[in-house]
């Protein structure tokens, strides 16, 4: 049963995945009911004075799915389609992701129903500050720690940190992660999710005895996750043959010049719409390319029953959260695609967010080599634990990752007991 307020397709996907794993684990039925639903869900209506003087209302959300293992953690999404069900699904995935990586966090997520590209910088700042003030009772370095997600960036995190700090009267860098370095951000956070995607993909390639030098890679989405994944993949020697954003994609069988493409993208309003540095392709065509590694790094439910049969990669490394529907997952598994599930593949972001929070709390900062090495250590260990679990129990990598994460959360609940 899904409560009506949360009922949307993304939440149904997260619950269906959870149900499959819970069934396989023989999870205590009482815990099963409890873990299906978020602990707290806040809906806020945010008034913002626009540059023309008018006041516009924006719906905002913050959902904490579980805090049994520590403060909850999860990004803030600015997107016109953001809604309570989607935010709740993303919060649930954060819970399993943090547990799988062994981080002392629960899962949360936030969102505002807005297209940030249609706001001026001043409007974006006012919206962010008012949203941060509205969710202020829920967040804090020991309670719930937001981070960037789709449509938000280090500047948005800086405004959130400042708003929170002004409310309490002193600087609290640990209230959000993904901040600029000048206010307690961490080296390596910006590229962390992409670096993690590459780390686990390389482990998967070793496992499958595939050579990186002859590998071809296609990346959907060219934001924080997609652009960093493409850049680091190219640096490791892979041939990145296709990239895309919401406006469509670019293809070159010999490999795209990623550093030049990145520079062009930044200089031209962050859209490929007028780019001629490769053959134009659609997002659908990109997903169907014959390649070694496909990285969906945009939004959820991009690979569905309708296009899964056309997917022609050896490894699917899920940079995005929830990019593959349940039916598509079955089709890909039957085709023998090696799937590195989202809660494992994109966990580099929250792992380095954790490093940032630890550094902020200790007022002691690490160098970039420390960050890279520790990220590599944690994410590759999680990959190998998941692979071993999947082989021992005869389940897919996705089921193995979900079952491992859910089991850690279940153990925490059983140890703590039910209050009162």
CA torsion angle 13 131 101 258 (round to 10): 90
Give the shortest CB-48-to-ligand NAD separation in angstroms.
20
* Segment 388-394 long-range contacts (CB within 8 Å, at least 24 positions apart): 393/24
Radius of gyration of the chain (CA): 20
Is 283 among the residues that bind ligand NAD (CB under 6 A)? yes
Is 245 among the residues that bind ligand NAD (CB under 6 A)? yes
Q: Where are the beta strands (DSSP E) in 318-380?
A: 338-340
Exactly one of 320, 331, 340, 379 binds ligand NAD (CB under 6 A); that residue is 320
Region near ligand NAD per CB under 6 A, out of 145-153, 155-163, 287-295, 304-312: 145-153
Is 20 among the residues that bind ligand NAD (CB under 6 A)? no
User: Which residue has the CB atom at the shortest distance from ligand NAD?
Assistant: 223
Coil, strand or helix: which one is 242?
strand
DSSP 8-class letter at 340: E
Give the shortest CB-55-to-ligand NAD separation in angstroms.
26
**Cα 287 from chain centroid?**
19
Exactly one of 244, 292, 324, 404 binds ligand NAD (CB under 6 A); that residue is 244
- Residue 42: which H helix or E strand, with range? strand 40-49
Exactly one of 132, 238, 298, 313 binds ligand NAD (CB under 6 A); that residue is 298
Residues 179-208: x where in contact with ligand NAD by CB under 6 A, - otherwise, as a string: --------------x---------------
Is 262 among the residues that bind ligand NAD (CB under 6 A)? no
Query: Is the Cβ of residue 269 or residue 420 nearer to ligand NAD in the bound state?
Result: 269
Of residues 97, 109, 179, 408, which has the active-site annotation? 109
Q: Where are the beta strands (DSSP E) in 267-322?
A: 279-281, 290-296, 312-317
- Of 370, 387, 319, which Cα lies nearest the Cα of 348? 319
Region near ligand NAD per CB under 6 A, out of 44-52, 57-65, 219-227, 232-240: 219-227
Is 74 among the residues that bind ligand NAD (CB under 6 A)? no
Report how far residue 325's alpha carbon sits from residue 401's, in angstroms, rounded to the nearest whole number: 16
Give the shortest CB-271-to-ligand NAD separation in angstroms.
7
Query: Is the Cβ of residue 48 or residue 320 nearer to ligand NAD in the bound state?
Result: 320
Report how far residue 324's alpha carbon sits from residue 333's, in angstroms, rounded to the nearest whole number: 11
Exactly one of 74, 85, 111, 148 binds ligand NAD (CB under 6 A); that residue is 148
- Residue 148: which H helix or E strand, with range? strand 144-148
Does residue 420 have a cis peptide bond before it, meaning omega lies within 30 degrees of 0? yes
Report yes or no: 250 and 261 within 8 Å, Cβ to Cβ: yes
* 109 in active site: yes
Q: Which residues bind ligand NAD (CB under 6 A)?
A: 148-151, 193, 220-226, 244-246, 283, 297-299, 319-321, 346, 349
The catalytic residues are 109
């Amino acid at each position: 049963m899904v409560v009506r307020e949360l009922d949307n397709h993304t939440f149904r996907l997260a619950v269906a995945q959870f149900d499959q794993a819970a069934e396989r684990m023989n999870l205590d039925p009482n815990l099963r009911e409890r873990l299906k639903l978020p602990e707290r869900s806040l809906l806020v209506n945010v008034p913002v004075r626009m540059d023309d003087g008018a006041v516009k209302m924006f719906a905002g959300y913050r959902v904490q799915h579980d805090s049994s293992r520590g403060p909850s953690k999860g990004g803030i999404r600015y997107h016109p389609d953001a809604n309570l069900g989607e935010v709740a699904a993303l919060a649930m995935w954060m819970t399993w992701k943090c547990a799988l990586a062994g981080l002392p966090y629960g899962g949360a997520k936030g969102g505002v129903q807005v297209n940030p590209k249609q706001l001026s910088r001043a409007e974006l700042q006012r919206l962010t500050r008012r949203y941060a003030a509205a969710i202020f009772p829920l967040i804090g370095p020991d309670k719930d720690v937001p981070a960037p997600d789709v449509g938000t960036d280090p500047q948005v995190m800086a405004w959130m940190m400042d708003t929170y700090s002004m409310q309490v009267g002193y600087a609290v860098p640990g209230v959000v992660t993904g901040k600029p370095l000048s206010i307690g951000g961490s080296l390596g956070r910006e590229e962390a999710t992409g670096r993690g995607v590459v780390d686990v993909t390389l482990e998967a390639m070793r496992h499958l005895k595939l050579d990186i030098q002859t590998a071809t890679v296609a990346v959907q989405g060219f934001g924080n996750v997609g652009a960093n994944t493409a850049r680091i993949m190219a640096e490791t020697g892979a041939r990145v043959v296709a990239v895309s954003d919401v406006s469509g994609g670019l293809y070159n069988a010999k490999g795209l010049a990623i550093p030049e493409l990145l520079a062009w993208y930044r200089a031209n309003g962050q859209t490929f719409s007028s780019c001629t540095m490769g053959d134009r392709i659609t997002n659908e065509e990109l997903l169907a390319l014959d390649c070694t590694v496909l990285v969906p790094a945009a939004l959820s439910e991009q690979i569905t029953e309708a296009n899964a049969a056309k997917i022609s990669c050896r490894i699917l490394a899920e940079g995005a959260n929830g990019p593959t529907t349940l039916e598509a997952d079955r089709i890909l598994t039957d085709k023998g695609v090696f799937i590195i599930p989202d809660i494992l593949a994109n966990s580099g972001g929250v792992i380095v967010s954790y490093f940032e929070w630890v550094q902020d709390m200790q007022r002691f900062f690490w160098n970039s080599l420390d960050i890279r090495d520790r990220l590599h250590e944690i994410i590759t260990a999680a990959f190998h634990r998941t692979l071993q679990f999947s082989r021992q129990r005869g389940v897919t990598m996705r089921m193995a990752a979900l079952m491992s994460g859910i089991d850690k959360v279940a153990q925490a609940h059983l140890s703590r007991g039910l209050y009162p």
